[in-house]
Amino acid sequence: MQTLLIQPESRLALNPQYQSHSLYPSEADTVLNAEGFYRAKHSISQWPGYAPTPLFELSDLARELEIASLCYKDENSRFGLGSFKPLGGAYAVASLLQKQIGTHHGDRTPDISELIAGRHRHITGDITVTAATDGNHGRSVAWGAQLFGCRCIIFIHETVTNAREHAIAHYGAEVIRTPGTFDDAVRKAAETAKIEGWHVIPDTTDGTLIDAPRNVMQGYTLMAAEAIDQLPDNQIPTHLFLQAGVGGMAAATCAQFWQTFAEDTPTIVLVEPQTAGCWFDSLSVGHPTAVAGSLESIMAGLACGEVSYLAWQILRTGATAMMTINDAVAEKSMRLVADPQRVDPPIVAGESGVAGLAGLIEAASDHQCRTLLGLDEKSRVLVFGTEGATDPESYHNIVGRPAHEVTNGQHKP
């Protein structure tokens, strides 16, 4: 396997397991499929405040990177939570509650509109959901629990910032801080839930628990489907640069494009922090491989040491290449897209949210990487800005201005 070093700490390699995107494979279809997508869309599109997030064309940056076009799907405005995450965690909460109410009612599963109207609060009020999080997922589960009327307890690990903790507590959840990394918090949530009779809503799985993490990913597919509907002139992108933590977002996006475009599915490049390259390592050797160490990165949502088993079923053969970037590269990209001097619309992109774009900027600036990925002046690239300033203080420190001073989503090209 050829690994390219772009600068001392960034790496790019082709996935040895990648099989060209022909038919969507059955092992992926058992995880995410059209029926699941329509169920998720039916639910989420009825939630109060639902609206597709905008897709921006960054023509000036595309010119600088010597590619034909660059589209940025901006998740900053999603349900007022600042990231794409409510599509997943809150959807998994809604699905769990519908199922639980169904068992009370002799298997008549209520429509989502009944939950939104609060018709089953006498049942849902006795249900507790829990999750481990590095910030955004816990916020999404807490928000969903509040919206659909159940109790919520969220586990965070030692380095999650206070701002992220408060953002979760804001939605009425109890927050418990535990020693260790994100992966340790995942285990702690699962163990405690077993003892207390709570329902775990993880965004990752080792294969033992399937329903909730599958629903989390199925909810994310709506983001990809919206982007497909918004593509300028219906032109299919040639490349997607997708940031990966446990891989749920990247797998959901890959799956939605693969089901829609089959052999015309874009080249898919996974982007991770240099300290937490679990996809890089796992795809390199052909099986899930944990990354040890503190996993420390400003890209908090991507600081995961273990891939999700469900995402693996899709990305093992669906990801074309993988790369790791360091924190400085993400910071530089955050400043670049927020710069008011640029011709492109200014964008508020958070640390994890900018990683796909940062990976593109790195790869496009390196001749060997361009060749390896087939990136050239005909390439149409799509990236997903999966969060805005979800940690406002950290954002301000990095960009030099608060998020509200950076025009976001107002300016249409």
Ligand X SMILES: Cc1ncc(COP(=O)(O)O)c(C=O)c1O
Shortest Cβ 156–ligand X spacing (Å): 12
Q: Which stretch binds ligand X (CB under 6 A): 37-45, 246-254, 313-321, 404-412?
A: 246-254
Count of residues engaged in binding ligand X, rule: CB under 6 A: 21
Residue 278 binds ligand X (CB under 6 A): no
CA–chain centroid gap for 378, Å, is 27
Give the contact letters, 308-347, x = binds to ligand X (CB under 6 A), - = no.
Answer: ----------------------------------------
Shortest Cβ 244–ligand X spacing (Å): 5
What is the Cβ-side half-sphere exposure of residue 19, based on CA atoms within 13 angstroms? 10
Single residue of 140, 386, 389, 403 touching ligand X by CB under 6 A = 386
Strand partners, 383: 72, 241
What b/e readout covers 295-322, taking b as 16+ CB neighbours within 10 angstroms? bebbbbbbbbbbbbbbbbbbbbbbbbbb
Of 31, 57, 88, 15, nearest in space to 285 by CA: 15
Of 296 and 376, which CB lies nearer to ligand X in the complex structure?
A: 296
Shortest Cβ 183–ligand X spacing (Å): 12
Query: Which backbone phi and psi does 6 adopt, to 5 degrees?
Result: -85, -45
Q: Which stretch binds ligand X (CB under 6 A): 8-16, 43-51, 239-247, 329-337?
A: 239-247
Dist CA 219 CA 211 (whole Å): 12
Contact set for ligand X, span 251-270 (CB under 6 A) = none
Residue 362 binds ligand X (CB under 6 A): no
Of 221 and 386, which CB lies nearer to ligand X in the complex structure?
A: 386
Shortest Cβ 197–ligand X spacing (Å): 27
User: Whose CB is nearest to ligand X?
Assistant: 301
Contact set for ligand X, span 61-100 (CB under 6 A) = 83, 85
Of 365, 375, 330, 320, nearest in space to 351 by CA: 330
Residue 356 binds ligand X (CB under 6 A): no
Of 124 and 140, which CB lies nearer to ligand X in the complex structure?
A: 140
Single residue of 11, 21, 73, 137 touching ligand X by CB under 6 A = 137
Q: Which residues are catalytic?
A: 85, 134
Please give the order of strands across the beta sheet that includes 199-200. 174-178, 151-157, 128-133, 199-200
Residue 132 binds ligand X (CB under 6 A): no
Contact set for ligand X, span 190-229 (CB under 6 A) = 203
Single residue of 12, 115, 246, 271 touching ligand X by CB under 6 A = 246
Pairing of strands 10-14, 321-325: antiparallel
Single residue of 130, 352, 379, 408 touching ligand X by CB under 6 A = 352
Of 60 and 211, which CB lies nearer to ligand X in the complex structure?
A: 211
Residue 144 binds ligand X (CB under 6 A): no
Of 157, 215, 142, nearest in space to 188 by CA: 157
Of 11 and 85, which CB lies nearer to ligand X in the complex structure?
A: 85
Dig out the tokens for 196 from the structure.
């207390």
Single-letter residue type at 315: L
Of 143, 136, 147, nearest in space to 113 by CA: 147
Of 401, 299, 408, 396, nearest in space to 348 by CA: 408
Single residue of 243, 253, 259, 282 touching ligand X by CB under 6 A = 243
Token pair 């285990």: residue? 187
Helices (H), 231-296: 248-261, 278-285
Single residue of 4, 250, 310, 329 touching ligand X by CB under 6 A = 250
What is the Cβ-side half-sphere exposure of residue 218, based on CA atoms within 13 angstroms? 27
Give the footprint of ligand X on this chain (CB under 6 A).
Answer: 83, 85, 134, 136-137, 203, 243-250, 301-302, 304, 352-353, 386-387
